[in-house]
Amino acid sequence: MKKNIKIFDTTMRDGEQSPGASMNMDEKVRVAHELEKLKVDIMEAGFPIASEGDFEAVRKVAKAVKDAQVAGLARANMKDIDRAWEALKYGACPRIHTFIATSDIHLKHKLKKSRDEVVEAAVAAVKHARKYTDNVEFSAEDAVRSDLDYLCRVVEAVIAAGAKTVNIPDTVGYAIPSEFGKLIATLHSRVPNIDEAVISVHCHNDLGLAVANSIAAIENGAGQVECTVNGIGERAGNASLEEIVMAIRTRGDILGYTTGIETEHLYPASRLITHITGMVVQPNKAIVGANAFAHEAGIHQDGVLKEKSTYEIMTPESVGVSHNLLVLGKHSGRHAFRERIKELGYELSDENIEKAFVRFKSLADKKKEIFDEDLDAIIADEIIRIEEKYKLLSLNVNSGTISDPTATVHMEINGLAKEDSGTGVGPVDAAYEAIARMTETKSKLVRYSVSSITSGMDAQGEVTVRVEEAGKTVLGQGAHTDIIVASAKAYINALNKLEYRKQKVWSDLP
């Protein structure tokens, strides 16, 4: 029988540490439900002591999730562990994940502790966490750059103290696959009590080797991998969940492992993370990129038409990419619409289906072909929205090569209708000037990006903006066939998120 590898998803914790990828509480709960559908074994929901917001998010996720373990991160000290447990304790299957660095570089420059002091802190942390739960994971931060004898000593000590999972992170993405595989094998041969814990790995992608290192570790005895959807995470990111899972599945012939992941949910999960974080997946990204299953060269197209396996090592359907890209058109009715939405993995109330259907009909009037990505954008734009203080009612722009661009914006603000006009160097600038004045925002627009969701002249444009106020950053998104309307929607979405954030207390890491 094939050995099962546990998938520990850290999209909501390490993934959220990507610049600009922060998620609010409701967004984390949405991600958690998507990860449940994916059937991850463990999901790390956040770092409870980091902020009030993170604490609340972990608490909500722990309470909401029934079919997976929920982990909360804590440094190796009593205060962090108590706080993590406070957030996790009502969950169905909580895990405390405590960590301390073990490399001499971190000990000397960051912790200013001796090796003996670090072992002592690690053991005390594990013992303290074990008073709350049996499900305790310990991570030796920067394990790859740690002295091997010392790492063996730490691993043995934390297992003896009661850690059921011991994680060996490549915190700075420094390892080479053969070297990392050997490290895991050495731990197995040298740590006498190693069989009492699951060995986990957590690889960062600074050299682009995070997935390769994770696979090498699995081949050498690791039983858990930590990874993120779309590979988001600190700096160059973490090992990508979808790539690890599909490597294990596709190369089962030589790897001989399985995971519990329902791979048909990989693509919907990837789309959701893109929508929530605003971090767009590169088109040539393995498994979930727009071109991952596109065959451009004539010789390839010819081969695939004759026999798919000529150029396809896995089917698009197996990762949840619909082969039936052209899904609906203007003559499609409610029934077909509802079915397609369900197939895409959304569970919407009747009221939300109706809202999305109205948007779909209006899009179908403007655009001949409606793709799955268009439906994703409609749902992200129309349904997955936070409480809105600001709403766009209408927008009219005047621009071209003769007159200065002007925009007239009609909005609802706190339930009251308002109208104003702006001018600018372009129509988006003009609309933004009017919106900024009407909302009296003090925020600064720090990033604006636009991409086309589908192909063709009538494609929907998706705009992502990053807006900052008093050190807090939020992302806003908007989609529409008219790029100026999409831009206005994205800006207003960001302003609504800022308002939402302001109502929450976000303190800094103590």
Q: Which residues form the interface with ligand KIV (CB under 6 A)? A: 14, 99, 139, 141, 167, 169, 171, 202, 204
Residue (94 or 169) nearer to ligand KIV, CB: 169
Report how far apart the first and last C-alpha atoms of the chain are (Å, whole number).
47
C-alpha span between 195 and 295 (Å, rounded): 46
Which residue from 44, 83, 86, 96 is spatially nearest to 65, judged by alpha carbons?
Answer: 44
Matching residue, tokens 């604490």: 55
- At 221, is the secondary structure helix, strand, or coil? coil
Q: What is the DSSP letter of 174?
A: -
Q: Collect all residues with Cβ–Cβ distance below 8 Å to 507 and sequence separation of at least 6.
A: 51, 52
Interface with Zn ion (CB under 5 A): 14
Instruction: Name the minimum Å distance from CB 233 to ligand KIV.
Output: 8
Instruction: Name the minimum Å distance from CB 14 to Zn ion.
Output: 4
- Which does residue 360 bind out of ligand KIV, Zn ion, none, counting CB within 5 to 8 angstroms by kind? none
Instruction: Name the minimum Å distance from CB 158 to Zn ion.
Output: 18
Core vs surface per residue 367-402: b (16+ CB within 10 A) or e:
bebbbbbbbbbbbbbbbbeeebbbbbeebebebeee
Counts for the chain of helices (H) and strands (E), in that order? 17, 18
Residue (200 or 473) nearer to ligand KIV, CB: 200
Residue (97 or 271) nearer to ligand KIV, CB: 97
- Which does residue 46 bind out of ligand KIV, Zn ion, none, counting CB within 5 to 8 angstroms by kind? none
Residue (44 or 462) nearer to ligand KIV, CB: 44
Residues facing 493 on adjacent strands? none
Residue (22 or 399) nearer to ligand KIV, CB: 22
Residue (139 or 270) nearer to ligand KIV, CB: 139
Instruction: Name the minimum Å distance from CB 187 to Zn ion.
Output: 19
- Which does residue 99 bind out of Zn ion, ligand KIV, none, counting CB within 5 to 8 angstroms by kind? ligand KIV
- Which does residue 141 bind out of ligand KIV, Zn ion, none, counting CB within 5 to 8 angstroms by kind? ligand KIV
Instruction: Name the minimum Å distance from CB 169 to ligand KIV.
Output: 3
- Which does residue 139 bind out of ligand KIV, Zn ion, none, counting CB within 5 to 8 angstroms by kind? ligand KIV
What is 326-394 written as a DSSP string? EEE-TT--HHHHHHHHHHTT----HHHHHHHHHHHHHHHHH-S-EEHHHHHHHHHHHTS----SEEEEE
Residue (139 or 277) nearer to ligand KIV, CB: 139
Q: What is the DSSP letter of 110?
A: I
Q: Identify residue 226 by its one-letter amino acid code.
A: E
Instruction: Name the minimum Å distance from CB 378 to Zn ion.
Output: 34
Instruction: Name the minimum Å distance from CB 202 to ligand KIV.
Output: 5
Q: Which residue is nearest to Zn ion (CB)?
A: 14
